[in-house]
A and B are shown apart, each in its own frame.
Chain A
Amino acid sequence: MTGSSLMHRFAPGRVIVWLLLLAGGLLMLTPLLFMFSTSLKDSADIYDLRLIPAAPTLDNYKTVLSDGRFLRWFWNSLAIATIVTLSNVFFDSLVGYTLAKFQFRGRYLVFLAILSTLMIPTEMLVIPWYVMAKNFGWLDSYWGIMFPGMMTAFGTFLMKQFFETVPNDFLEAARVDGLNEFAIFWRIALPLVTPALSALAIFTFLSNWTAFIWPLIVTTSKELYTLPVGLASFAVESQIQWELIMTGAALATIPTLTVFLLLQRYIVRGVVLAGLKG
């Protein structure tokens, strides 16, 4: 390594940036590390704040995994997040494609209407959703948990922006080749926006996996709880067993971490593409 490249590498500005990033990283990592650490501790040791447990044990994992409720909630979350993700990937793209590639009266108005819903925070929508769920008889059901997220304005917007970058020549070539409009969407346009599709799928899955407020409001039966709601109910039941809650939380991060590690490249690209939501 030459002297000048070393100088460049350790320039004061860069060192400060590194230190700041390191501090930020540690700040975010600490709660996670304590979560994993606590999950490996005996109930007697949980207020011992050493990061590395004195007597690490997997008993908590055995307890949680043998509790039928936890597995049920895990599968509920997995099924709901998967179905909502598939639905978003399909419907958001379909609407985004239509808005991007078809000229029709009121197109701009429809797009504005969809976009305007982005400005309404979830907290404000919870009451109308609840009234709607109650009137349709969807309270305390899987569909009740899923219906508000089956299509999102954000996803539609993201996909529309992406479909606009697909050259019309591709679609017209397919039209000349004899494909019908749905086949053009499905076989030609959709594969051309895979990066956006991956980003949308990842965001939708992660946000549904961690969703808390709406599943908490709409469900009353414990067997319909999603994992975050179930874990919270762990906490309020009888005495608080932190080691079990932390174990559940640690297990709950597995799909998130898997998705992140497998699709890291797409997530980073997705954040860049989306530009507004992380």
Chain B
Amino acid sequence: MAGIAIEKLVKRYGTTQVVHGIDLTIEDGEFVVFVGPSGCGKSTTLRMIAGLEDINDGTISIGDRIVNRLEPKERNIAMVFQNYAIYPHMSVAENIAFGLYTAKLDKAQKRKRVEEVAEVLGLTPLLERRPSALSGGQRQRVAIGRAMVRDPAVFLFDEPLSNLDAQLRAQMRLEIKRLHQRLGTTIVFVTHDQVEAMTLADRIVVMRDGHILQVGAPMELYEKPADVFTARFIGSPTMNVVPAKATAEAGRSALQLGEAPIAWPAALPEDVLVGVRPQELRVLGQGEGADLVLSGTVAVVEPLGPETFVHVEAEGGLLLASASAKNPPAVGSAVRLGSPASALRLFDAKSERAL
């Protein structure tokens, strides 16, 4: 097992720079998830850790070795790819054993290792099958098995669940999490799915345009996003963000949004963005009040079983709020939405950084 240290890492394709000197330390045994939209540099960074992309500047260390110039096979890593990359012309057993290609083990020892891994992943009855006879989830398990069999210092996962349906994805997520708890190996996992990031990670690394925007534990990112992008990216459904004006009178700040100004304990710039999560913006009942109250008309109702979300045309645009699952408002009805001041996240309108 080993930690990973990334220092001032740069990647360029021709004149286009796609990773801009990022720094990151991943502790030994940590499960770190890189998350961000397509083209944010997360997969490129992972591939540089794997040795599948050259590094233009900066260093990557695995354990106490700088690995910049080492071949992938010399880095003691194993990687699971998005489309599984299990070899279609080999059986499950051969595929898993392929992870031991360079291992100095005799046939019987290799077979034993393959059987152990197959046992852990529930692949024992499938060992002689060809990949074409496996379901998507089973294929992904074979790919994980091939990575596991080598007992690597670091596991790298490049969007491994993207090709699976929602139900299977949830199941595989659980399996990967349990696998990490069992093995305790360092894992770097790339995804564009924030639910995967939230559920799997010890720490999440949010990336955008080749920069790291924020690194932190899932709940830390959820509750204290460093900027509007992270605030909207982390958490489902997406956080509402509405522009507002702030005023200061006699040294006291107030937020001019909704039915009444909201007193704010800290100094604020004139233009701010107010973020409020749909779960914390509720449809108010008759006579009910809140720190922030916004009025609007219901455009769409989305019942989800335990809760119902409503899209409301209100001041600041289309807002998503939660409503009673039993008595949701009708489409077209006028509603008042309310949220406590403690649930509001404020950002500078210019820099979009948290205030």
Contact = CB atoms under 8 A, between A and B. Distances in A.
Tell me what chain A mostly uses at the interface: helix, strand, loop, or mixed.
helix
Contacts of A194: 89
A167 B50 CA distance: 18
B72 interface: yes
B102 A177 contact: yes
Interface residues of B, number: 22
Interface in B54-101: 71-73, 77-79, 81-85, 87-89, 98-99, 101
Given A167-B83, A178-B73, A172 B52 contact: yes
A3 interface: no
A182 B96 CA distance: 21
Nearest to B77: A176
Interface in A163-192: 167, 169-170, 172-179, 188, 191-192
Interface residues of A, number: 15
Contact of A169 (B72, B77, B78, B82): B82
B11 interface: no
17 contacts: A167-B83, A169-B81, A170-B87, A173-B79, A173-B85, A174-B98, A175-B71, A176-B52, A176-B72, A176-B73, A176-B79, A177-B98, A178-B73, A178-B101, A179-B101, A192-B89, A194-B89
Given A167-B83, A169-B83, A177 B99 contact: yes
Tell me what chain B mostly uses at the interface: helix, strand, loop, or mixed.
loop
B146 interface: yes
- Which of the listed residues A172, A174, A177, A178 has the most CB atoms from chain B within 10 Å of its own CB? A177
Nearest to B81: A169
Interface of B: 50-52, 71-73, 77-79, 81-85, 87-89, 98-99, 101-102, 146
B101 A177 contact: yes
Interface string A61-96: 000000000000000000000000000000000000
Contacts of B50: 172, 176
A79 to B, nearest CB: 30
Given A172-B81, A172-B85, 11 more contacts: A169-B83, A172-B50, A173-B79, A175-B73, A176-B52, A176-B72, A176-B78, A176-B79, A177-B146, A192-B87, A192-B89
